[in-house]
Chain A
Amino acid sequence: SQTIHQWPATLVQPVGSPLSLECTVEGTSNPNLYWYRQAAGRGLQLLFYSIGIGQISSEVPQNLSASRPQDRQFILSSKKLLLSDSGFYLCAWSEGGQAYEQYFGPGTRLTVT
């Protein structure tokens, strides 16, 4: 069966510090991968998605970036965090090709102080 991992689970970082959140998927090949941010326990904002290694689409211009160095690894980064980057970050995957439903990781709670 497929499993998705995210780490860390929680993170407190000062303004201006760098960020690296990692997501890995097991049990599938060539998945579509997604990064979302959820603010205040409500709606999801799609940040990035990827249909293959090195193929990243950005949905929201901001100081975040994403990379996919391996087939089942998706990394969210920032060089300098802003207070507004605080939130709950969710990684998700879906089957390559038709890309129907998405399966979400447990999330990372980021607090920028």
Chain B
Amino acid sequence: AQSVAQPEDQVNVAEGNPLTVKCTYSVSGNPYLFWYVQYPNRGLQFLLKYITGDNLVKGSYGFEAEFNKSQTSFHLKKPSALVSDSALYFCAVRDKTGGFKTIFGAGTRLFVKA
């Protein structure tokens, strides 16, 4: 069965500092991996995805994520945080052989302090 873990309910970082939001996953086959962001009372917005190829993927708003197969991780990173990055972040996984069902993590709330 597919699963996603976001071990931190909340991450606090000062503006200008690097940020990392952690994600680990479990699938029976090779994964498709995604990050989404949600602002208050809004739908989720797609940030980036890993399908195949280069383990470091770049996405919207300066975010990037690194796929680590041995550690089954897909951590979200940004070199310099902005106050406007404060939001709820979701990691998601889909098994390449598992149809269209995507499993979302519980979410990590990011607070960036000025």
Residues of A within 8 A of B (CB): 6, 32, 41-44, 46, 49, 51, 59, 90, 92, 94, 99-107, 109
Q: A43-B104, A49-B100, A101-B49 are in contact. Are A107 and B88 (CB under 8 A)?
A: no
Q: Nearest A residue to B107 by beta-carbon distance?
A: A42
Interface contact A102-B88, CB-CB below 8 Å = no
Give CA–CA (A69, B44) in the complex, Å: 25
Q: Choose among A32, A41, A102 the residue with the greatest number of B CB atoms under 10 Å from its CB.
A: A102
For B104, what are the chain A residues with a Cβ–Cβ distance below 8 Å? 43-44
Known: A43-B105, A44-B90, A46-B101. A107 touches B34 (CB 8 A): no
Chain B positions 24-53 with a Cβ under 8 Å from a chain A Cβ = 32, 34, 36, 41-46, 49, 51
1/0 per residue B47-71: CB within 8 Å of A? 0010100000000000000000000
Q: B42 contacts A103, CB within 8 Å?
A: no
CA distance A32 to B106 in the complex (A): 23
B100 touching A100 by the CB < 8 A rule? no
Q: Is B102 an interface residue (CB 8 A)?
A: yes
Residues of A with C-beta under 8 A to B105: 43
**CB<8 Å pairs between A and B, sample of 11:** A46-B101, A49-B100, A92-B43, A94-B100, A102-B102, A104-B43, A104-B44, A104-B45, A107-B41, A107-B43, A109-B41
Interface contacts beyond A46-B102, A105-B43: sample of 17 additional A-B pairs, CB < 8 Å, sorted by A: A42-B88, A43-B90, A43-B106, A44-B104, A46-B101, A49-B100, A90-B44, A94-B100, A100-B51, A101-B34, A101-B46, A104-B43, A104-B44, A104-B45, A106-B42, A107-B43, A109-B41
In the A-B complex, the 4 residue pairs with the closest CB atoms = A104-B43, A43-B106, A44-B104, A104-B44
In the complex, which residues of chain B have a beta carbon less than 8 angstroms from the beta carbon of A105? 43
When the two chains form their complex, are residues B88 and A90 in contact, meaning their CB atoms are under 8 A apart? Answer: no
The interface residues of chain A lying within 8 Å CB-to-CB of B41 are 107, 109
- Residues A42 and B101 in contact in the complex (CB < 8 Å), given A90-B44, A106-B42, A107-B42: no
CB distance from B35 to the nearest CB of A (A): 10
- Write out the residue numbers on chain B whose beta carbons fall within 8 Å of the beta carbon of A42: 88, 106-107
